[in-house]
Amino acid sequence: MKQACWLLALRLGAGQVVPAAPRPTDSQPCPCPDPIYGEDICYEPVCPPGYFRCCATCYEAPCYGLKKDLELSWRGIYECILCEPGDYCDGCDTFKKCPDNTQPTREGARVSRAGSTRIADCESCAAGMEASFRRDRCVEDYSHVCNEEFVQRCIRSCKAEEPSRGKKLTPCEQIKCEMFCAKLWSDDCAVVVGRICRDLTTAKDSGVIGVEGSDTQADVLECDVDCDFATRSGFVVAVAILGLLL
């Protein structure tokens, strides 16, 4: 029987290697189907719940990425990625999208916080609200004035103010990016997203699941975003991609 060991995760900022989660023993029933070969093959995951393995469904392609974006797996390789908002990662090295809500008056995408592990972590938005562009919170309805596909693709093209961070945006930069992309689509879209922007950057419940009182909320409250004019303000949008949408 294997002894339980620990995933050692490099925590950026703190500069320390700390334990993140215990590894299950092989005495437990096989919990996961193989991501590539399916239900008939038992698979032993290398990342803990709340993470997915980079390129888990690839046959041969290695996982390329910076160490700051990846964390050490149980086999000592930088290949574990924190589960994204709007998804959940149940500990089988893959991620699953939160299922849409089909209840009348509440139809649409569900939201979840980063690192979610169960489908129960996916939450539905109340009537009159919908999932944010990043699927991390419920916000005022915007889809009647914003083309979500356009805005989403624009958001994915935003780059950080500091070039070395590439597309790894701070919470403040994410809000700036959303404002810019909303304005790029239409003034009406910018007005609605501007109200969401002001709600996020004022001292009250941000709507982001699980961040109240956290460093993330403090960063948002101190954000210098202009919720009315949506200027570029230091980050870059890939013009080539946007040209395909216009």
Bridging pattern class, strands 71-72 and 38-43: unpaired
Q: For position 24, what pLDDT does the model report?
A: 58
Averaged pLDDT score across all residues of the chain: 79
SS3 content of the chain, % helix, strand, coil (to 5): 25, 20, 55
On the question of pLDDT at 66 being above 70, the answer is: no
Closest CA to 209 of 148, 90, 153, 125: 125
Q: For position 28, what pLDDT does the model report?
A: 65
Closest CA to 30 of 115, 91, 114, 105: 91
Higher pLDDT, 65 or 106: 106
Residue partners of 32: CB distance under 8 A and separation at least 6: 42, 43, 44, 45, 91, 92, 93
pLDDT digits (tens, 9 = 90+) for 96-153: 999 999 888 788 999 999 999 999 999 999 988 999 999 999 999 999 999 999 999 9
**pLDDT band per the 50, 70, 90 thresholds, residue 89:** very high
**pLDDT band per the 50, 70, 90 thresholds, residue 216:** low
Higher pLDDT, 107 or 209: 107
Q: For position 23, what pLDDT does the model report?
A: 63
- Measured CA angle at 145 (ends 140, 150), to 5 deg: 105
Q: How far apart are CA 116 and CA 211, in angstroms?
A: 13
What is the mean pLDDT of the segment spanning 215-236? 66
